[in-house]
Amino acid sequence: REEIKEQVTMRDVLERYGFRPNRAGFIRCPFHTGDDHASLKIYDRDFHCFACGANGDIFTFVQIGRASCRERV
């Protein structure tokens, strides 16, 4: 798990999901609705949403993303 975290950045994961952070490193949070502004800050190894409080590393992003997709179906 730690080896993967050393080799894969948050930006790598985001690009795989089709997200492109703005110049300041923010995207619209995919984990909550009603986000009109980019509120999820992307760092090299983790993320934090200033609106809903979601945060974590690359593994958390993928897990939350899968759960969010299941809830929408």
**What value, to the nearest 5°, has the Cα angle with vertex 48 and ends 71 and 30?**
30
The answer on pLDDT for 72 being more than 70 is no
Counting Cα atoms < 13 Å in the Cβ hemisphere of 64 gives: 18
pLDDT of residue 34: 84
The answer on pLDDT for 20 being more than 50 is yes
- Claim: this prediction has a pTM higher than 0.95: no
The answer on pLDDT for 71 being more than 50 is no
To the nearest 10°, report the CA torsion of 51, 53, 58, 59: -130
Q: Which residues pair with 49 in a beta bridge?
A: 40
Mean pLDDT rounded to a whole number for the chain: 86
* pLDDT per position as a tens digit, 23-57: 999 999 988 888 788 999 999 999 999 999 999 99
